[in-house]
């Protein structure tokens, strides 16, 4: 009896969690222009409409530039921080690492407003590069968390062995460290990319005249006629996110296998 209750609870839980997301593709392919049941008929019209909206294309391009830059910057910063945190002991290490990880729990609204105030005080225009900065701030902790795992899994004496066999610290990093943490780097790039691509609050505050994809989507909500197109776009974004996350996790696991280690849960 107890077991059945648990099963019911789990079922309800999953339905509540995923039903709204299931609605997304449902209405994306619905030929009615009002988001309501009953469904009318099957159509791919809304997806076609996506292709004919230049403002959407501009927003998408903008988002891609921001997400790719953010992924690269966050991962490079994360690489340095994760290596330092796992390889060296230095005074105040715990405090410093905690400080870098803080944006993970900082309310994004606060980050966004602070960034906006700073930019205005400095008399600078907000725009693409300021969103990249803001996104790098919130993505770096994720990059560190992922890469720290990769470094912690790597036997320290591997690097020492390479130096012992005649390599310099730099060539050791290139020949030993980088190939062994490469899966972690790929995972970090993908996750930072997704976080940046989906991020709304910072982008909303700082985007100015060139909105990112989420900001553009939000602006569409004012026009009920556009809603089915939002559904179509949402469907694509959900699929893309799931795909990228699966890819990131695959790379993380491959890294563990390559290092000959057991999976201990991991990031996701």
Positions that interact with other proteins (CB under 8 A): 155, 157-158, 160-168, 176, 179-180, 258-260
Least distance between other proteins and beta carbon 164 (Å):
5
- Give whichever of 21 and 163 is closer to other proteins, judged by the CB atom: 163
Least distance between other proteins and beta carbon 109 (Å):
44
Least distance between other proteins and beta carbon 163 (Å):
5
- Give whichever of 175 and 246 is closer to other proteins, judged by the CB atom: 175
Least distance between other proteins and beta carbon 264 (Å):
17
Is the distance from CB of 106 to CB of 40 less than 8 angstroms? no
Q: Is the dihedral of CA 52, 55, 58, 61 positive or negative?
A: negative
Cα(171)–Cα(41) distance, rounded to whole angstroms?
61
Q: What is the 3-state secondary structure (H, E, C) of the chain?
A: CHHHHHHHHHHHHHHHHHHHHHHHHHHHCECCCCCCCCCCCECCHHHHHHHCCHHHHHHHHHHHHHHHHHHHHHHHHHHHHHHHHHHCCCCCHHHHHHHHHHHHCCCHHHHHHHHHHHHHHCCCCCCHHHHHHHHHHHHHHHHHHHHHHHHHCCCHHHHHHHHHCCCCHHHHHHHHHHHHHHHHHHHHHHHHHHHHHHCCHHHHHHCCCCCCHHHHHHHHCCCHHHHHHHHHHHHHHHHHHHHHHHHHHHHHHHHHHHCCCCCCCCCC
Least distance between other proteins and beta carbon 47 (Å):
43
- Give whichever of 137 and 180 is closer to other proteins, judged by the CB atom: 180
Least distance between other proteins and beta carbon 160 (Å):
6
- Give whichever of 48 and 160 is closer to other proteins, judged by the CB atom: 160
- Give whichever of 111 and 176 is closer to other proteins, judged by the CB atom: 176
Is the distance from CB of 82 to CB of 151 less than 8 angstroms? yes
- Give whichever of 102 and 261 is closer to other proteins, judged by the CB atom: 261
HSE of 262, CA atoms in CB hemisphere, 13 A = 1
- Give whichever of 4 and 157 is closer to other proteins, judged by the CB atom: 157
Least distance between other proteins and beta carbon 74 (Å):
25
């Amino acid at each position: 009896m107890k077991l059945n209750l648990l099963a019911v609870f789990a079922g309800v839980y999953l339905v509540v969690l995923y039903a709204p997301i299931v609605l997304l593709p449902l209405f994306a392919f619905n030929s009615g222009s009002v988001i309501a049941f009953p469904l009318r008929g099957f159509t791919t019209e809304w997806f076609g409409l996506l292709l004919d909206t230049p403002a959407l294309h501009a927003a998408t391009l903008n988002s891609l530039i921001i997400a790719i830059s953010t992924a690269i910057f966050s991962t490079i910063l994360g690489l340095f921080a994760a290596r330092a945190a796992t390889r060296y002991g230095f005074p105040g290490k715990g405090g410093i690492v905690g400080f870098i990880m803080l944006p993970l729990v900082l309310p994004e609204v606060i980050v966004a407003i602070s960034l906006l105030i700073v930019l205005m005080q400095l008399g600078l225009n907000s725009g693409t590069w300021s969103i990249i900065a803001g996104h790098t701030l919130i993505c770096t902790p994720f990059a560190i968390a992922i890469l720290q795992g990769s470094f912690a899994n790597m036997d320290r004496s591997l690097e020492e062995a390479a130096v012992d066999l005649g390599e310099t610290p730099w060539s050791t990093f290139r020949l030993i460290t980088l190939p062994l943490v490469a899966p972690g780097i790929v995972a970090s790039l993908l996750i930072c990319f997704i976080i940046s691509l989906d991020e709304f609050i910072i982008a909303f505050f700082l985007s100015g005249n060139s909105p990112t994809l989420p900001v553009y989507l939000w602006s569409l909500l004012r026009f009920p006629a556009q809603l089915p197109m939002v559904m179509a776009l949402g469907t694509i974004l959900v699929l893309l996110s799931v795909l990228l996350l699966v890819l990131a996790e695959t790379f993380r696991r491959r890294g563990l296998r390559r290092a000959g280690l057991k999976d201990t849960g991991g990031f996701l």
